[in-house]
Amino acid sequence: MCRGLQGVSWALMLWGVGATMGTAWASLSGIVPEGAEVERIATGFEFTEGPAYDRHGFLYFSDIPANRIYRIAEDGTVSVFQEPSGKSNGLVFDKDGSLLACRHWERDVARILPDGTLKVLADAYQGRKLNSPNDCAVAADGAVYFTDPGYGLEGRPSEQDAEAVYRLAPDGTVTRVVNDMTKPNGIFVSPDGKTLYVADSEECIIRAYPLNADGSAGPGRTFADMKSEAEGVPDGMTLDEKGHIYCTGGGGIWVFTPDGEHLGTIPVPEVPANCTFGGPGNTTLYITARHSVYRIELLVPGLW
């Protein structure tokens, strides 16, 4: 099981705002520049999640309990993009530049246009309401894969027989592709479209599933075991153009090779929930963590 605060020296992990990456993280030397800092760029929120960077230089993120989607401009200005947000969690931009949102309270996946116009894309499977879509990823063919744990039910009964992963096809068809996880959460599709990665926040692992030509998933395998004594669980994930995988976990952002080797962890002052790339050159890693949003400049550009 995942662990909490017991047995960890937070003197090494809780740097405070503006903490500097030191020589202890030499294994990340090709990824994190010498002297790089984790910088807090906004704070005062209830629970931040689901960061997504658009083509116009805005970072969008969810504040789930506040029922809002915020955005941060390049000059640091924070504004409300949508309220209420349906208690949105994971956000991602599709190829057309529209924002896709996994909305806990509404129990759906919706497309939000720049003017705020909203269209529900998926809210049921086999005629029964979804649990509470959590995070989503867009594949090269335009299909949307999303996780559906029960975190956002808030006492409402589940109509599904599993906390599963689904594929929303471009024609609107919803199919279940993974049903062997406890709490599927963060998700992404490999750039070549051949592998689906899903974080299980309760089992503290990342699983990898081969994707078939029709978009269905084959039998999965454990890609990484992220059990830790530090507070934090596998949740949101992203990756860079060299195939390194970045996943929230105990103590910060865990960085893996494409083969699942844990290279090291980027400590974050608050427990992180999600991360994404953005900024000029797409080399800024943005991190949503409890009450704040952080960023750190890296050497390798992200893919999204």
Is the predicted pLDDT of residue 252 greater than 50, yes or no?
A: yes
* Dist. CA 69–CA 63, nearest whole Å: 6
pLDDT tens across 194-246, in order?
A: 999 999 999 999 999 999 999 999 999 999 999 999 999 999 999 999 999 99
Count H helices and E strands in the chain, helices first.
0, 27
Comparison of pLDDT for 13 and 253, the residue scoring more: 253
8 A C-beta contact, residue 284 and residue 298: yes
User: Could you identify the residue written with the tokens 């949503």?
Assistant: 288
pLDDT class for 1, splitting at 50, 70, 90? very low
The secondary structure of 118-179, three-state, reads EEEEECEECCEECCCCCCEEECCCCCEEEEECCHHHCCCCCCCCCCEEEEECCCCCEEEEEC
Is the predicted pLDDT of residue 6 greater than 50, yes or no?
A: no
8 A C-beta contact, residue 291 and residue 64: no
User: Could you identify the residue written with the tokens 């027989």?
Assistant: 161
* CB neighbour list of residue 282: distance below 8 Å, 6 or more residues apart: 53, 301, 302
Can you read off the two tokens belonging to residue 179? 């049903």
Name the 3-class secondary structure at 25: helix
pLDDT tens across 101-155, in order?
A: 999 999 999 999 888 889 999 999 999 999 999 999 999 999 999 999 999 999 9
pLDDT class for 9, splitting at 50, 70, 90? very low
Report the range of poorest mean pLDDT among 26-30, 77-81, 97-101. Answer: 26-30
Residue range 71-79: average pLDDT?
95
For 141, 175, 210, 258, 275, the CA distances from 215, given in Å and listed in that order, are: 9, 9, 9, 21, 25
* Dist. CA 102–CA 295, nearest whole Å: 23
* Dist. CA 226–CA 199, nearest whole Å: 10
The one-letter amino acid code at 191 reads P
pLDDT value, residue 304: 66
Name the 3-class secondary structure at 113: coil
pLDDT value, residue 113: 87
pLDDT class for 26, splitting at 50, 70, 90? low
Which CATH code fits 19-297? 2.120.10.30
CB atoms under 10 Å from CB of 65, counted, come to 10
Is the predicted pLDDT of residue 46 greater than 60, yes or no?
A: yes
* Dist. CA 146–CA 137, nearest whole Å: 6
Mean pLDDT computed over every residue of the chain: 91
Burial label, 301 (beta-carbon count in 10 A; 0-12, 13-18, 19+):
middle
pLDDT value, residue 15: 35
